[in-house]
Amino acid sequence: MHSLRRNVLRVLFGALAGLLLAAPARAADPVFPTNSRIGLVAPAGFTPSNRFPGFENPQASAAILLVELPGDAYADVEKGFTDEALKARGMTVQLREPLAFKDGKGFFISGPQESGGVKRHEAVMIANMGGITSIVSVQMVEATHATLTDAMVRDTFKTLAIRPQVPESEKLAVLPYKIGNLAKFRIVRSGREGVAILTDGPSDEVTAVEQPFMLIGVAPGEAPKAEDRDKFARGLFGSIWVDAFANYDQTYGFYDFGISGGISADVEIAGIDFGGGSLSFGATLSTRGGSDGSAPIDIAYAANATDVQSQVLQLKEKKPDVVIMITYTSDAILFAKTMQALDYKPPMLLADDAGYSDPSFIKAVGKLSVGAFNRSSWSVGPPGSPTAVIAEMYKKKSGDEMDDTAARQMQGFLVLAEAIDRAGSTDPAKIQAALKATDLKPDQLMIGYKGVKFDEKGQNVLAAGVIIQLQDGENYVAVWPKTNAQKTPIMPYKGW
């Protein structure tokens, strides 16, 4: 009897041990990248990135990007992820499936994508959960898709988790500088690029300002010498559109805006910090800071991105008076196409030169960008004008349209040639002396400078710009200042 009992117990314990050994291991906990409310159990080989919100696997040339949007943005995002819209951006949808979560819903798509001759594979999940809309994009080179399959990506998407809030320690940790004393302020938003928004009020909502906010930003560059800091600081603030567009507003009745397109003359400048080999500025926004009291919004994206839907949707949700674009050509083209696909038109779009000055931008999406303003030193001018003649000569010689970059390079060469003529020599010292003595007037130039006169550091103190507008989708025309204007500015932004 005892032998039988022992045998039965042995069998039972053996079966129990087998069940325990066969039971699946406890699922891994989701990992939340620093400063992100979105978390996942990422596939093997992926680790949280120190460069962007998400995960990366350099060995597999793959990355997982996380984007957080307001919860009510889900419907707009879903509309923008049709097969047709994605195909227009170079992605062919091969798989589309719904996803169900305990307290939310979503879907994911997957397919190959080609951009700039590079073949890749991308899987994107859109989910409405935890009070936010999450966009999770898994991007990889084509070869990696053989080992990082859609089934594996689907399992990753199912581990989506949303935490209630990001600890303030993480918001501080991502900044490239330290804030020693918050002085009763708290951080609303922060990013690795150095932008931080702080407030001492109860709300995190920046778009309808009913409480003070503080903006801190960083610009790369060497710190000036102590004796140059006052001059540099004044120049920096003057370059953030305040002076130019205060006049613009008075002349044409435009929207009230300044720094980064959202701060009016009611901004209280806090100061500039020259420490750490970089330049930073701070500003305290009053409740009057904009046409509707709105604060500036800094929306970052990766250069040469293949999808900017989340950025455009953020703009659409925030409804700024003015959107200031600083982009490369390919990005400017992508933004224009995405804005059309999502039916987003800001009241005013102002480009800071760069890609918007490239003739290929006009050829590709000029008809989708009617009404865009652009900062430039160059304007073709009316037919028969000296600038128009130069532009025609340049096109006959090069086959390309003259743009701001080419015009500034040509003007620089002409300034050098004029100095050599005055020096009457090719001796470097004599040419340098002639350059230092340069004093050219506006009517001697092919671009919109007030003249050319160099200071002790070799900078042209008379450099200036004009505002040009793409009024017909084919050609920019100067619209400001009035002394240079060919036509009156047209508002609002038309787009297409």
- Would you give per-residue pLDDT tens digits along the chain (496 residues)? 444 344 433 433 443 334 334 444 345 899 999 999 999 999 999 999 888 889 999 999 899 999 888 888 888 888 888 888 888 777 899 999 999 998 899 999 999 987 656 788 999 999 999 999 999 999 998 999 999 999 999 999 999 999 999 999 999 998 888 888 888 888 888 887 777 888 888 877 655 456 777 878 776 566 677 777 776 666 655 444 333 333 333 333 332 222 333 333 333 333 444 444 334 444 333 333 344 445 566 777 766 667 888 888 888 877 888 888 888 888 889 899 988 888 889 999 998 877 888 888 988 899 999 999 998 888 887 788 888 888 889 888 888 888 888 888 888 999 999 999 999 998 999 999 999 999 999 888 888 788 899 988 888 888 888 889 999 999 898 888 887 788 999 989 999 9
- Bridge partners of 454, per DSSP, are 460
Domains 38-162 and 386-464 share a fold: no
Of how many residues is the chain composed?
496
Domain positions in the chain: 38-162, 168-297, 386-464
Instruction: Quote the CA–CA distance of 395 and 400 in Å, as a whole number.
Output: 5
Instruction: Quote the CA–CA distance of 476 and 492 in Å, as a whole number.
Output: 16
Task: Please give the helix or strand (H or E) that residue 122 lies within, else none.
Answer: strand 118-129
Q: 147 Cβ partners below 8 Å, 6+ apart?
A: 60
Q: What are phi and psi of 351, to 5 degrees?
A: -95, 145
Predicted confidence at residue 43, as pLDDT, reads 95
SS3 177: coil
Predicted confidence at residue 36, as pLDDT, reads 93
Instruction: Quote the CA–CA distance of 453 and 437 in Å, as a whole number.
Output: 8
Q: Is 59 exposed, middle or buried (0-12, 13-18, 19+ CB in 10 A)?
A: exposed
Q: What's the pTM value of the predicted model, to 2 decimals?
A: 0.53
Query: What is 386-464's CATH superfamily?
Result: Response regulator (3.40.50.2300)
Span 280-292, pLDDT tens digits: 444 333 333 344 4
Half-sphere exposure of 34 (CA within 13 A, CB side): 16
Predicted confidence at residue 304, as pLDDT, reads 61
Predicted confidence at residue 121, as pLDDT, reads 92
Give the Cβ contact number of residue 25 at 10 Å.
5
Contact 399, 379 (CB under 8 A): no
Q: Is 453 exposed, middle or buried (0-12, 13-18, 19+ CB in 10 A)?
A: middle
DSSP code per residue over 241-262: THHHHHHHHHHH------GGGT
Nearest to 135 by CA among 211, 182, 70: 70
Cross-sheet strand order for the sheet of 132-141: 47-48, 54-57, 62-70, 132-141, 118-129, 104-115, 95-101
Angle at 70 between CA 309 and CA 324, to 5 degrees: 50
Packed helices 229-238 and 242-252: angle between N→C axes, nearest 10 degrees? 30
Q: What is the DSSP letter of 495?
A: B
* Fold adopted by 38-162: Protein Transport Mog1p; Chain A (3.40.1000)
